[in-house]
Amino acid sequence: MIAGTSRPNDFVVKRDGRDVGRVMQDRLGMSAGSALVWWWGTWTYPSVHGYAPTLEAALERVRQGATDDLPETDVDRRR
């Protein structure tokens, strides 16, 4: 989020009402052919992240990687 607004194809992932990760479309570097891929990451402990070829695959990887161990904080990670 930039100034309270997210860009297209940029999603905060929630589980049970709590933010557990993020998925966004990204372009790989020139050496990788500038392909569009989906970056995904979790905010749980331990955090994990990576790339996936589709939105559905990225959401599945967040689902698999997000644990129940969330930091006890009121920090808004979307800023």
| DSSP secondary structure of 11-58 | EEEEETTEEEEEEEEEE--GGGTT-EEEEEEE-SSS--EEEESSHHHH
Tell whether the model's pLDDT for residue 62 goes beyond 90.
yes
User: What pLDDT shows up at residue 72?
Assistant: 62
Residues 5-41 have pLDDT tens digits of: 667 889 999 988 888 999 999 887 655 566 789 999 9
- Categorize the per-residue pLDDT at 58 as very low, low, confident or very high, splitting at 50, 70 and 90: very high
Region 61-66 average pLDDT = 92
> What's the mean pLDDT when you consider all of the chain?
81
b/e sequence 38-76, b meaning 16+ C-beta within 10 Å: bbbbbbbeeeeeeebeeeeebbebbeebbeeebeeeeee
Q: Where are the domains of the chain?
A: 10-65
